[in-house]
Amino acid sequence: MATKKKRAPNVENDSWVVVAADSVIDSQKHHSDPAFVRLRNPSTDAASLYMLGSGDVQLYEVKAFEEDFHSWFIGQTVQRDGRLIFVTPMDPLYLILPYLIKSGKEGKFQPVDQVVMDEEFPACSRLLSCTRSLASLHHIAEEKEAGSLKFHRYSQERTMNWLKKKVERTIVALKKRNISVGEGVKSTTYIRVKSEADNHEEDYLRYAHGLISEYISDDLSKALLSHLGLPELTSPKETEPPSKKRKLSDKPVEAEEDYTKFNSADFARKPPKKMTAAQKTLAKVDKTGMKPMSSFFSPKVKAEKK
Amino acid sequence: MDLNPFEADNSVSCQLTSEIPEVCRTEDCCLGIDEAGRGPVLGPMVYGICFCPVSRKEDLKDLKVADSKTLTEAERENLFQKLDEAKSYVGWALQILSPNTISTSMLQRTKYNLNALSHDTAIGLVQYALDSGVQLKEVYVDTVGPAEKYEEKLSKRFPGIEVTVRPKADSLFPVVSAASICAKVARDRVVKGWNFAEDLGEVDSDYGSGYPNDPKTKAWLLKYLDPVFGYPQFVRFSWSTAQTLMDSKAVTVHWDDDEEDGEKAAQRQNNRSMLSYFGASAGGNEQNLTHQTHRFFTDRRLKSLDTL
C-alpha cells in the first residue's frame, strides 16, 4: 500500500534557473563578474539578496518565483528546486536611504562614504560605486560643497517628492501593463480580471503606494501615504459588524427548535472517524461500478444453465 | 490482423476492425464482447467484439471456438485464422487500450477506474458496429463489476437491443468466445513485439506473463526501474505492483493532489489556527507587527531571498 510520502530536506543546489537582464552579464567593460551580495532590506530591515553588476555599476534586486510542487528538467538532469530567479535593475537610492535617514537624525552634513556603513553588511559601501548613486543623492538629501568635498544631509521633503514621482511613474507602468489594481476577493486560485469599474485613480494610487512601500520603511510608507493625500485605511476590526442585539418583545421566549432529542439515550453522537493514510489513499480511488468487498463472501448465486 | 496502426504509436488507444460482412447489414445480428489483459501489470488491455447474423450462430459453434483461456496460443492463432476466413458472415473489431492510456486514466486528477474504462470501451465498440450499419438485436457480454448494473447501463444506452450480461459468458456463448479469441490474439501479438518508445538499448524481452505474481515479471520490473522516470510506457503505473516498487526504490515525487495532513501541512498551506479567530485583540496585533508583502508579489508568488 502506498506509504505516506516524507519530504526530504532540501539539499544545497549548485545551480539555479535565473532570468536576468542582458546588462548583468555584460562584463566586457569592467573585467569583473557580477556578484550576489547580501544587503539590508530597507523594508524589513533584515538581510536580502541583491546583485551588483560587473564593476558595481548597477544594482539589481533578486526575486524568486516559488510555488510548491515544481521541479526543473535541465538538459539531462533534474533539479529538484523549481524556483525561477529574476534579477532586475533597481534604484540604489532605496538601499542608501535608510543610512541617510539614520545619520540625518543628528542634523549634520556628512560625507556619504561615512554614512553608508554597516558592520553587518560591509558590502553596502559598494552601493556608492553605482553610476546612479552619487548623481541622484540630491533627490533625498541636501548637498553642500566645500572645496572638492561634498556633504549631504537627509531631507524628508525632498524624499517625499522623489517617492511621489516614483508612485506616479509606477501608475503609468501599471496602466500600460494593464494590471488589475481594484480590491477583489483575495484568493490564491482566482485570477483577477480587469473590469471596467477598475479604473479608479485612487485604486491605482494605493496600489502603486503599496508597491513602493516594499522598498521603504514602514514609517516612510505612512508619511508617503499622507503626502499623497490618502487617508489611512481603517483596520478590519472596526468594520466588523456589531454583535447581534436581542430582539425585544412582550411574548414569552420560545425555543425555535427542539434540541432535547439530542439528549435522549438512542441518539448516539458518532465521533468522526479518523482515517489512516492507507484508508485515505483508498478513499481517493474511483470505485464507481465496482463490487463491494462483502459481495465476494456472500453465498454464490447459482449460475444460470445454458 | 494488421497491427501497424497501433504499433505506429503505442502510447494511445487504437481501433482495429475487419470488413463488415454484407449479410450483417441486412440480417438481424448478435454480438459478443470480451476483453484480454485486464490483470497484467505489463502491456495493453484489448477489448474485442465479434458479430454475425443470428441465423449463423450455430456455424460459429462448428468452428469450435471456445473460451480463450482453455486454449493454447497456437490453437488461438489457428481459430483466429478460421474466423478471418469466415469473413463472409463474421465481423470483428478491437480496441487496444495502451498501458499508457490505462495509467493516465486511473492516475489523473479525477480518477477514472478500470471498470468505467472497460464499460466505456465496450459501449464504444457496440456503437461502432451500429454506426457501420450492423443490424444488432442481441448483445452478450462477460461481466465487469456487478452484472445487473452493467446490464442496466448497457440496456439504457442501447434501447431496442437485448443485452445479456453473464459471468463466464465467454464459455456460454460462442459469439463471446470468438470475441475473446480476437482480443487475446491481438494482445499476445502486441506484447510479443512491443516497440519501446524509450531509448533503453537492447531490452530484455523475457518479462514472463506480465501478471504481477509472475516471478519473471517481478524481476523484469526491478531491473527496468529508473529512479527518476520509473518505468517505460509498457508498464501500467497505476498497478500497485509498480507503485510499491517505485515508492521503495525510486525518488519520491510530490504532486499537488497528494494529501497531507497534520499541523505541518496546515502551516505549509498557510492555514490559520482556529484559535486565532477568537483572541480578537491578539490576532489583530500580530498582523500589524509582521511585514506583509504587497499583493503584487504574493499574487505572482514572488519573494525576496536572503540566501541562494
| B299 domain residue, yes or no | no
| B112 domain residue, yes or no | yes
Query: Amino acid identity, residue B110?
Result: T
Does B141 lie in the same domain as B230?
no
A113-127, A230-244, A268-282: the lowest-pLDDT one: A230-244
Region of residue A67 (phi > 0: left; psi between -120 and 50: alpha; otherwise: beta) = beta
Mutation for testing the B interface, residue in A94, A291, A300 having most B CBs under 10 Å: A291
Closest C-alpha among A63, A181, A88, A72 to residue B302: A63
| B186 domain residue, yes or no | yes
Does B114 lie in the same domain as B243?
no
Q: Band of the pLDDT at A239, cuts 50, 70, 90?
A: very low
Q: How far apart are CA B118 and CA B127, in angstroms?
A: 14
Q: Tell me how far CA of residue A203 lies from CA of A165, A179, A197, A230, A279, in angstroms.
A: 17, 11, 10, 11, 49
pLDDT given at position B286: 41
In the predicted structure, residue B170 carries a pLDDT above the cut 80? yes
B34 is in an annotated binding site: yes
Does B87 lie in the same domain as B8?
yes
Long-range CB contacts (within 8 A, 24+) of B109-117? B109/B257, B110/A286, B111/A284, B111/A285, B111/A286, B112/A286, B113/A285, B113/A286, B113/A287, B113/A288, B113/A289, B113/A290, B114/B38, B114/B45, B115/A288, B115/A289, B115/A290, B115/B144, B115/B145, B116/A286, B116/A288, B116/A289
Residue of B nearest to A278 (CA): B259
Is A286 in contact with B168 (Cβ distance < 8 A)? no
pLDDT in tens, B267-307: 666 666 666 666 554 444 444 446 788 889 998 899 999 88
Sort out which chain B residues have CB atoms less than 8 A from A67's CB and list them. 301
B142 is in an annotated binding site: yes
Q: How far apart are CA B236 and CA A183, in angstroms?
A: 48
Is B228 in contact with A78 (Cβ distance < 8 A)? yes
pLDDT in tens, A145-201: 888 888 999 999 999 999 999 999 999 999 998 888 876 544 445 555 555 554 578
Q: Band of the pLDDT at A241, cuts 50, 70, 90?
A: low
pLDDT in tens, A7-53: 555 556 678 899 988 888 776 666 778 899 999 999 999 999 999 98
In the predicted structure, residue B308 carries a pLDDT above the cut 90? no
pLDDT given at position B26: 92
- Does this model's pTM top 0.95? no
Does B224 lie in the same domain as B118?
no
- Tell me which residue range forms the domain holding B231: 215-249
Distance from A260 to chain B by nearest Cα, in Å? 28
Distance from A302 to chain B by nearest Cα, in Å? 11
Does B186 lie in the same domain as B69?
yes
Q: Which residue has the higher pLDDT, B265 or B244?
A: B244
Is B254 in contact with A69 (Cβ distance < 8 A)? yes
Does B80 lie in the same domain as B35?
yes
| B55 domain residue, yes or no | yes
pLDDT in tens, B129-162: 999 999 999 999 988 778 888 899 999 999 989 9
Distance from A114 to chain B by nearest Cα, in Å? 26
pLDDT given at position B51: 93
Does B83 lie in the same domain as B121?
yes
Does B180 lie in the same domain as B241?
no
| B266 domain residue, yes or no | no
Does B46 lie in the same domain as B186?
yes
Sorted by where each starts, the structural domains of chain A and their CATH numbers stand as: 156-183+200-229 (1.10.20.120)
pLDDT in tens, A242-269: 555 555 566 666 667 766 666 666 555 5
Out of B205, B233, B249, a domain closes at B249
pLDDT in tens, B191-236: 888 888 887 777 787 888 889 999 999 999 998 999 999 999 999 9
Q: How many residues does chain B have?
A: 308
What backbone phi and psi angles, to 5 degrees, belong to A149?
-95, 145
Does B98 lie in the same domain as B48?
yes
Closest C-alpha among B144, B142, B45 to residue B102: B45
- Predicted ipTM of the assembly: 0.76
Distance from A21 to chain B by nearest Cα, in Å? 17
CATH number for position B65: 3.30.420.10
pLDDT given at position A193: 59
Closest C-alpha among A277, A276, A286 to residue A3: A277
pLDDT given at position A81: 86
Q: How far apart are CA A77 and CA B262, in angstroms?
A: 33
| B204 domain residue, yes or no | no
| B168 domain residue, yes or no | yes
Report the domain count for chain B: 2
Is A289 in contact with B296 (Cβ distance < 8 A)? no
Does B168 lie in the same domain as B86?
yes
Does B147 lie in the same domain as B41?
yes
Return the biggest CA–CA distance within chain A.
Answer: 116
Q: How far apart are CA B272 and CA B266, in angstroms?
A: 8
Note whether B151 and B163 are within 8 A (CB).
Answer: yes
pLDDT in tens, A192-234: 555 555 457 888 999 999 999 999 999 999 999 999 988 877 6
| B201 domain residue, yes or no | no
